């Protein structure tokens, strides 16, 4: 049987376990050009909270009763597409279920010899490419500049900060625990990391950014963005990549006062990775090279079993994960 986790109700504020429901359906059969897949790993990402709401964003919401969406690393069980053979591992977007049929042309083969296949959900996939493109295309960091990264130990922030270090910047992370901060400085090599739960953020940021802030890689918006705006330099660039602080908001939240943008001729620019497919080759080449050279570190936070996915997403929105959150499904 195919075990699926579907959207039972649209959450108001923080999702609860009751917003999800587990159902069993027959394992589907692949038609010509299709492949039957068994999910090995499911990616959990903050954007999924947006899909649980009725509001159309850049993508359609999940329907009530529909399978929760998500990228997966899957194994070919049966193929009606000559390109794929049983046992091959592919990147797909099968969502929160153990099995799925997908058109062969929507899949990408993964090679376990090059990197653990689950990395395709993180540093070698959408989160890594988000970090690479948003930092380089919008942030445009120059050597010696100060770059601040929120959610610094997460799937996107950890890569963005390490690339900024490779580009010769002074890099300051913001994370949610002392343990995460130690990882960010000692393993990822950021120059400083602030524990946002302990520090007076504007004061702590001013202390570790004596020359102001040139680039802020924004995964969170909210209070961190407000604190950063008080310290930006002339010509600062702020790629707006995530809104973690707001995903559970029940009313339209306020934002920061934008006066500092004017006085500093600075910009905030929204980013979606799907606009940047032109940079896929450069991303793959650069990130693979940096990993080979030991310049990029990566940490996974693995939950065992599809049934852990709902609590995993709820916890991620609270900042409870440590590293890229994935679910080992089989």
String of contacts with its own copies for each residue 266-305, x by CB under 8 A: xxxxxxx--x------------------------------
Contacts of 262 (CB under 8 A, 6+ apart): none
Element (H, E) at 259: helix 259-263
Nearer to its own copies, 38 or 266 (CB): 266
Among 140, 246, 299, 308, binds its own copies (CB under 8 A): 246
In the complex, least distance from residue 241 CB atom to its own copies, rounded to whole angstroms: 7
Contact flag: residue 263 with its own copies (CB under 8 A): yes
Contact flag: residue 265 with its own copies (CB under 8 A): yes
- The whole-angstrom separation of Cα 272 and Cα 258 is 22
17-76 residues in contact with its own copies (CB under 8 A) are 57-58
| Number of amino acids touching its own copies (CB under 8 A) | 31
Of 248, 203, 251, the C-alpha closest to 230 is 203
Among 255, 277, 289, 292, binds its own copies (CB under 8 A): 255
Element (H, E) at 207: helix 201-208
Among 11, 15, 157, 256, binds its own copies (CB under 8 A): 256
Among 206, 261, 284, 302, binds its own copies (CB under 8 A): 261
Reduce the DSSP state of residue 214 to 3 states and report it.
Answer: strand
In the complex, least distance from residue 260 CB atom to its own copies, rounded to whole angstroms: 8
Q: Binding segment for its own copies among 65-73, 147-155, 162-170, 262-270 (CB under 8 A)?
A: 262-270
Tally Cβ neighbours within 10 Å of residue 204. Answer: 18
Nearer to its own copies, 218 or 301 (CB): 218
In the complex, least distance from residue 218 CB atom to its own copies, rounded to whole angstroms: 9
Q: Binding segment for its own copies among 16-24, 31-39, 76-84, 247-255 (CB under 8 A)?
A: 247-255
Of 23, 25, 22, the C-alpha closest to 1 is 25
Whats the size of the chain, residue-wise?
330
Contact flag: residue 11 with its own copies (CB under 8 A): no
Contacts of 285 (CB under 8 A, 6+ apart): none
Nearer to its own copies, 252 or 278 (CB): 252
- The whole-angstrom separation of Cα 113 and Cα 318 is 35
Contact flag: residue 206 with its own copies (CB under 8 A): no
- The whole-angstrom separation of Cα 171 and Cα 148 is 6
Of 147, 184, 185, 188, the C-alpha closest to 164 is 147
Among 37, 152, 193, 221, binds its own copies (CB under 8 A): 221
Q: Please, are residues 135 and 157 in contact by the beta-carbon 8 Å criterion? A: no
Positions touching its own copies (CB under 8 A) are 57-58, 221, 225, 240-243, 246, 252-272, 275
């Amino acid at each position: 049987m195919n075990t699926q986790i579907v959207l039972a109700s649209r959450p108001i504020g923080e999702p609860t376990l009751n917003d999800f429901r587990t159902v069993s359906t027959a394992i589907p059969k692949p038609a010509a050009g299709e492949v039957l897949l068994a999910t090995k790993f499911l990616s959990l990402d903050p954007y999924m909270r947006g899909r649980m709401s009725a509001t159309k964003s850049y993508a359609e919401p999940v329907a009530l009763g529909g399978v929760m969406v998500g990228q997966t690393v899957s194994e070919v069980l049966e193929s009606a597409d000559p390109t794929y053979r049983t046992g091959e591992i592919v990147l797909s977007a099968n969502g929160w279920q153990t099995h799925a049929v997908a058109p062969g042309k929507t899949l990408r083969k993964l090679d376990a010899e090059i990197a653990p296949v689950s990395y395709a959900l993180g540093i070698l996939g959408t989160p890594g490419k988000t970090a690479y493109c948003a930092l380089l295309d919008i942030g445009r960091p120059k050597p010696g500049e100060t770059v601040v990264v929120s959610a610094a130990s997460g799937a996107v922030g950890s890569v963005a900060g390490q690339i900024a270090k490779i580009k010769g910047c002074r890099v300051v992370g913001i994370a949610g625990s002392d343990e995460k901060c130690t990882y960010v400085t000692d393993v990822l090599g950021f120059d400083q990391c602030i524990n946002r739960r302990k520090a007076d953020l504007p004061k702590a940021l001013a202390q570790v950014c004596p020359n102001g802030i040139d680039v802020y890689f924004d995964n969170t918006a909210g209070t961190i963005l407000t604190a950063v705006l008080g310290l930006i330099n002339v010509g600062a660039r702020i790629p707006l990549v995530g809104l973690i602080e707001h995903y559970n908001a029940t009313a339209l939240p306020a934002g920061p006062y934008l006066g500092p943008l004017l006085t500093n001729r600075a910009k905030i620019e929204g980013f979606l990775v799907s606009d940047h497919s032109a940079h896929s080759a450069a991303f793959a080449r650069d990130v693979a090279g940096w990993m080979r050279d030991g310049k990029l570190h990566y940490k996974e936070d693995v939950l065992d079993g599809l049934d852990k996915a709902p609590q995993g997403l709820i916890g991620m929105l609270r900042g409870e994960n440590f590293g890229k959150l994935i679910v080992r499904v089989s």
